[in-house]
């Protein structure tokens, strides 16, 4: 029953995202050492209803450098990389980009603990390469981008409340003296 509820919530979220932003412009960083996999991801991204700018990185180190130089809406991060593990790259990206970074971990084969470790380290979602197609990739992107949008809204509200608290504290301090 919970699975049905989750699917309904995802479908509702998809409808809300589509109606509020039918043609998002999304800038994506793909960090994957396999040229064929990068090409496949690029093809699937271009077939979505998202207008995408795609930047590629063949290694974790190159991906980290590109991430430092540019701003991305989402990172598609391979778990197995030749120079650094995906988990290590993920942790560095989160350290650079903060808690509101949007990363989807991708892997050829998922161990039982890999998704849990990646999500625990800051990934928003994970996908298995053999299961990725245009529809699944678009759904994942729209969901994590909606999550990012909600996080940014929450951050703005938190800043506004903090500002109001500071004003109230100053008033109380004046009354106390």
Q: What is the pLDDT of residue 155?
A: 85
Q: According to the per-residue pLDDT averaged within each range, which of 8-12, 21-25, 88-92, 150-154 is highest?
A: 88-92
Q: Please name which of 48, 63, 30 lies closest in space to residue 129, comparing C-alpha atoms.
A: 30
Indicate whether 17 pLDDT > 50.
no
Task: Please give the average per-residue pLDDT across 29-42, as a whole number.
Answer: 95
Domain ranges in the chain are 2-176
Choice between 19 and 54, residue whose per-residue pLDDT is larger: 54
Give the CA angle between residues 19, 94, 90 to the nearest 5°: 95
Task: Please give the average per-residue pLDDT across 34-40, as a whole number.
Answer: 95
Indicate whether 128 pLDDT > 70.
yes
Q: What is the pLDDT of residue 4?
A: 52
CA distances from 44 to 49, 51, 81, 166 (A): 10, 12, 21, 48
Determine phi and psi for 109, rounding to 5 degrees.
Answer: -140, 130
The mean predicted confidence, pLDDT, of the chain is 84
User: Residue 99: which pLDDT band, with cuts at 50, 70 and 90?
Assistant: low
User: Residue 175: which pLDDT band, with cuts at 50, 70 and 90?
Assistant: confident
Indicate whether 177 pLDDT > 90.
no
Q: What is the pLDDT of residue 98?
A: 72
Q: Is 113 helix (H, G, I), strand (E, B) or coil?
A: coil
Cα separation, 33 vs 27, whole angstroms: 19
Task: Please give the average per-residue pLDDT across 115-132, as a whole number.
Answer: 89
Which residue shows structure tokens 């949007």? 102
Determine phi and psi for 142, rounding to 5 degrees.
Answer: -65, -40
Q: How does DSSP assign 37-104, residue by residue?
A: HHHHHHHHHHTSSSEEEEEEESSHHHHHHHHHHS--SEEEEES--SSS-HHHHHHHHHHHH-TT--EE
Indicate whether 41 pLDDT > 80.
yes
Specify whether domain 2-176 bears CATH 3.30.1330.60: no
Choice between 89 and 14, residue whose per-residue pLDDT is larger: 89
């Amino acid at each position: 029953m919970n699975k049905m509820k989750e699917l309904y919530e995802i479908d509702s979220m998809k409808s809300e995202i589509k109606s509020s932003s039918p043609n998002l412009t999304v800038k994506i960083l793909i960090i994957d050492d396999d040229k064929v996999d990068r090409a496949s991801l690029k093809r699937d991204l271009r077939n979505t209803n998202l207008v995408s700018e795609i930047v590629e990185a063949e290694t974790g180190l190159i991906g980290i450098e590109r991430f430092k130089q540019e701003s991305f809406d989402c990172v598609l991060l391979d778990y197995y990389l030749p120079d650094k593990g995906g988990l290590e790259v993920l942790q560095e990206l989160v350290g650079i980009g903060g808690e509101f970074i949007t990363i989807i971990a991708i892997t050829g084969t998922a161990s039982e603990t890999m998704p849990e470790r990646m999500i625990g380290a800051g990934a928003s979602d994970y996908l298995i390469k053999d299961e990725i197609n245009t529809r699944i990739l678009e759904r994942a992107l729209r969901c994590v981008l909606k999550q990012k949008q909600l996080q940014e809204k929450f951050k703005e509200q938190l800043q506004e409340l903090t500002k109001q608290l500071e004003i109230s504290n100053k008033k109380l301090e004046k009354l106390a003296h």
